[in-house]
């Protein structure tokens, strides 16, 4: 092996009690695609922030082309030739593409525009330089980020979970771009938790578990079982067994749901139709930003329709479009939103007080006053029944890990004994253990006759637990597809808006 481009020796970083990285070693060869594999919370993002100069390590040594490297800032990293594409992009929505690029790349606008065109053609990254970022799709935004990095002529390009925002077809295109970059002399550091894609594209891989390196390997020489064992210590858990659905009464129906958001950056929804019966799980696939946020607020009641349009949302057989969240809960509805902190839970409040948020009608309020003992009792049961790891009912919600807080919220909502249960992105940022638990509970609920709706970006997840899938793309909903008779590629076609053509 040639001398590495980048070497890390014994890098450690901690945030308070959490040891995000412990004595991490890493060698990235020139002209290679190198994967960092690990599940949510394994410390991948922290490591990338250290390499990109966003954070500084507590201890350890970094070498760049054989020489010691200290990075005080991302600007310093860029000067060395390190570029990064963030998972949640670092773009400014109200600015145009070219303005976003000017903030990072020196040069005159005309020259930059020409360069954007060249790079676009060379690497298959076409974008309109004068478009405002808020008008672009998620995939286009990713292209802007990659171009912005490429314009600083990096020797190393870091991509944080780049495929999570792409439909399957676009993933192939991204991989093609990355391979062209490697052949052009750029090394790529590719962060992911998806085993198959790492085997497909990466030359080498470093695997992280709980902040520590558990292996340096050549991915093609190992199968997914090996990778999983290194990543989580055992095989990937089996999806819960699915018996054929026993559909009951219709619990949720959208009839021509049409909505234009106030927010100019929002996605209008056009003529959505779906029907969900008791005892089945319906999945809504698609990349967020295609109307997912709007749809979830319309179903939860956080956005209420005008009284005249109330029939567009039917819950338990009643028109519900005009009802607020509390009234919908009275009908037997429960909801787990996509953002845990600040929406599903109040970070600065104790778990007991967070129980009150939606469970207050369960006898937690008496004569207008908070019934402290009952609230604590409810919370204790939730913690015990749903395996929430925490110091107790008085722990602040903001102090829990993503997976544990999600288990708390899912548990709290399940304790409302809903007839219709709606979850948006239930396993975003959740570790595999917690994600598996949550999926198992959903299938169990379905078997008990609850109607469940899941919005998710993870196609695999939807295939594991859903009876049927519909795709939300560009504010429109595809017809219902039976999971057993559908392949991921079919879903992908709807995601890029080409579903009807086949």
Partner 1 sequence: MSAALIWPKLVKRERPSLTITILAPLLALVAATLLNLLLYLIMGKDPVAVFHAMILEPFISFPSFSEVLLKTGPLLLIAEGLAIGYRAKVFNIGAEGQFIIGAIFASALPVWYPMATGQWIWPTMLVAGAIGGAMWAGITAFWRVRLRANEILVSLMLSLVAAQVLNYLLLGPWKDPNGFNFPQSVMFQYDAMVPLIIPGTRVNASLLIALALALVAYVFMQKSFTGYKLEVGGLAPRAAGYAGFSEGRAIWLSLLIGGFAAGLAGAAEVAGPIGQLQRSISTGYGYAAIIVAYFGGLHPIGILFSSVVMAAIYIGGDNALVSADLPIAAVRVFQGSLLLAYLMATTFVRYQLVFLRPVSGVAP
Partner 2 sequence: MIALQFILSGMLAAATPFLLAALGELVSERTGVLNLGVEGVMALGAAIAFIIVYHGGGHVLAFAGAGLAGLLLSLLFAFATLGLQANQVAAGLAIGILGQGLSALFGKTYESLTVKGLPKLAIPGLSDLPVFGGLFVQDSVVWLSLAATLAIWATFAFTKTGLLLRAVGENPKAAHSIGYPVNAIRVAAVAFGGLMSGFAGAYAATVYTPLWADGMIAGRGWIALALVVFGTWLTARIFLGACLFGAVSLAGLAAQAGGVELPSQLLASLPYLVTIIVLGVISSNRRLLKLNGVASLGEPFKP
Binding mask 31-60 for partner 2 (x = CB under 8 A): ----------------------xx------
DSSP 471-498: EEETTEEPPPEEGGG--HHHHHHHHTT-
Binding mask 417-446 for partner 2 (x = CB under 8 A): ------------------------------
Closer CB to partner 1, residue 10 or residue 479?
A: 10
Q: Does the protein bind partner 1 through residue 332 (CB under 8 A)?
A: no
Cα–Cα distance, 356 to 373 (Å, whole number):
12
Closer CB to partner 1, residue 408 or residue 494?
A: 408
Q: Name the token pair of 367.
A: 């004569």
Q: Does the protein bind partner 2 through residue 103 (CB under 8 A)?
A: yes
Q: Which residues does 192 contact at the CB level (< 8 Å), separation at least 6? A: 35, 36, 37, 161, 162, 163, 198
Q: 3-state DSSP: the chain helix, strand, coil percent, rounded to 5?
A: 35, 25, 40
Q: Does the protein bind partner 1 through residue 300 (CB under 8 A)?
A: yes
Of 368, 408, 41, residue with least CA distance to 212: 41
- Pick what 17 binds: partner 1, partner 2, none; C-beta below 5 to 8 Å, kind-dependent: partner 1
Q: Does the protein bind partner 2 through residue 78 (CB under 8 A)?
A: yes
Q: Does the protein bind partner 1 through residue 501 (CB under 8 A)?
A: no
Q: Does the protein bind partner 2 through residue 95 (CB under 8 A)?
A: yes
Q: For partner 2, which stretch binds (CB under 8 A), given 87-95, 205-213, 336-344, 420-428? A: 87-95
Q: Does the protein bind partner 2 through residue 93 (CB under 8 A)?
A: yes
Using CB under 8 A, pick the residue from 19, 31, 102, 180 that binds partner 2: 102
Using CB under 8 A, pick the residue from 118, 263, 482, 489 that binds partner 2: 263
Q: What is the number of helices (H) and of strands (E) in the chain?
A: 16, 23
Cα–Cα distance, 377 to 363 (Å, whole number):
11
Report, in Å, the least distance between residue 319 CB and partner 1. 18
Closer CB to partner 1, residue 339 or residue 385?
A: 339
- Pick what 368 binds: partner 2, partner 1, none; C-beta below 5 to 8 Å, kind-dependent: partner 1
Using CB under 8 A, pick the residue from 357, 380, 440, 490 that binds partner 1: 357
CB 333 within 8 A of CB 319: no
In 3-state terms, what secondary structure has residue 203? coil
Burial of 30 (C-beta count, 10 Å sphere; 0-12/13-18/19+) = middle
Closer CB to partner 1, residue 193 or residue 353?
A: 353
Using CB under 8 A, pick the residue from 111, 130, 235, 265 that binds partner 2: 265
Q: Does the protein bind partner 2 through residue 153 (CB under 8 A)?
A: no
Q: Name the token pair of 429.
A: 């940022």
| Cα–Cα separations (whole angstroms), residue 70 to 26, 44, 155, 229 | 16, 19, 17, 34
Cα–Cα distance, 477 to 306 (Å, whole number):
22
Q: Does the protein bind partner 1 through residue 59 (CB under 8 A)?
A: yes
Q: Which helix (H) or strand (E) holds 13?
A: strand 6-15
Q: Name the token pair of 320.
A: 């519900």
Cα–Cα distance, 128 to 408 (Å, whole number):
44
Report, in Å, the least distance between residue 74 CB and partner 2. 3
Of 446, 79, 399, residue with least CA distance to 281: 446
Interface residues with partner 2 (CB under 8 A) are 53-54, 73-78, 84, 86, 89-95, 99, 102-104, 262-265
Interface residues with partner 1 (CB under 8 A) are 10, 16-17, 56-62, 68, 70, 72, 300-302, 324-329, 335, 337, 339, 342-349, 353, 356-358, 360, 365, 368-370, 396, 399
């Amino acid at each position: 092996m040639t001398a590495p481009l980048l070497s890390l020796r014994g890098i450690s970083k901690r945030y308070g009690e959490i040891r995000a990285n412990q004595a991490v070693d890493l060698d990235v060869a020139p002209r290679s695609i190198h994967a960092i594999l690990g599940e949510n919370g394994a410390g991948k993002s922290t490591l990338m922030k250290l390499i990109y100069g966003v954070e500084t390590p507590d201890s350890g040594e970094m070498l760049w082309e054989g020489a010691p490297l200290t990075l005080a800032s991302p600007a310093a990293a860029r000067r060395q030739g390190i570029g990064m594409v963030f998972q949640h992009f670092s773009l400014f929505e109200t600015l145009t593409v070219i303005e976003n690029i000017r903030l990072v790349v020196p040069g005159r606008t005309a020259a930059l525009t020409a360069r954007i065109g060249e790079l676009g053609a060379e690497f298959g990254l076409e974008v309109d330089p004068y478009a405002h970022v808020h008008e672009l799709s998620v995939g286009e935004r990713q292209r802007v980020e990659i171009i912005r990095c490429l314009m600083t002529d990096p020797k190393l390009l870091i991509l944080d979970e780049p495929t999570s925002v792409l439909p399957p077809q676009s993933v192939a295109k991204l991989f093609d771009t990355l391979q062209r970059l490697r052949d052009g002399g750029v090394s790529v550091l590719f962060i992911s938790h998806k085993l198959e894609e790492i085997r497909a594209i990466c030359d080498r891989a470093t695997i992280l578990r709980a902040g520590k390196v558990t292996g340096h390997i050549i991915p093609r020489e190992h199968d997914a079982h090996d990778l999983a064992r290194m990543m989580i210590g055992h095989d990937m858990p089996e999806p819960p067994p699915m018996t054929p659905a026993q559909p009951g009464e219709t619990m949720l129906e959208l009839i021509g749901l049409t909505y234009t958001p106030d927010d100019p950056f929002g996605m209008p929804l056009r003529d959505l139709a779906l029907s969900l019966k008791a005892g089945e799980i319906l999945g809504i696939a698609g990349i967020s930003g295609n109307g997912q946020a709007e749809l979830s607020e319309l179903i939860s009641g956080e956005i209420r329709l005008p009284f005249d349009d109330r029939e567009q949302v039917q819950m338990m057989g009643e028109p519900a479009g005009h009802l607020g969240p509390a009234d919908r809960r009275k009908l037997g509805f429960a909801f787990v939103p996509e953002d845990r902190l600040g929406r599903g839970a109040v970070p600065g409040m104790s778990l007991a007080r967070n129980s009150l948020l939606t469970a207050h009608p369960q006898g937690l309020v008496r004569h207008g006053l908070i019934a402290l003992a009952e609230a604590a009792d409810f919370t204790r049961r939730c913690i015990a029944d749903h395996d929430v790891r925490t110091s107790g009912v008085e722990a602040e919600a903001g102090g829990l890990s993503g997976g544990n807080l999600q288990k708390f919220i899912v548990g709290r909502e399940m304790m409302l004994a809903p007839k219709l249960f709606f979850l948006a992105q239930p396993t975003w940022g959740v570790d595999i253990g917690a994600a598996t638990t949550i999926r198992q509970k959903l299938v169990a609920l379905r078997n008990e006759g609850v109607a469940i709706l899941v919005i998710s970006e993870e196609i695999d997840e939807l295939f594991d637990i859903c009876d049927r899938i519909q795709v939300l793309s560009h504010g429109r909903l595809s017809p219902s597809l039976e999971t057993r008779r559908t392949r991921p590629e079919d879903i992908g076609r709807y995601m890029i808006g080409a579903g009807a053509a086949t």
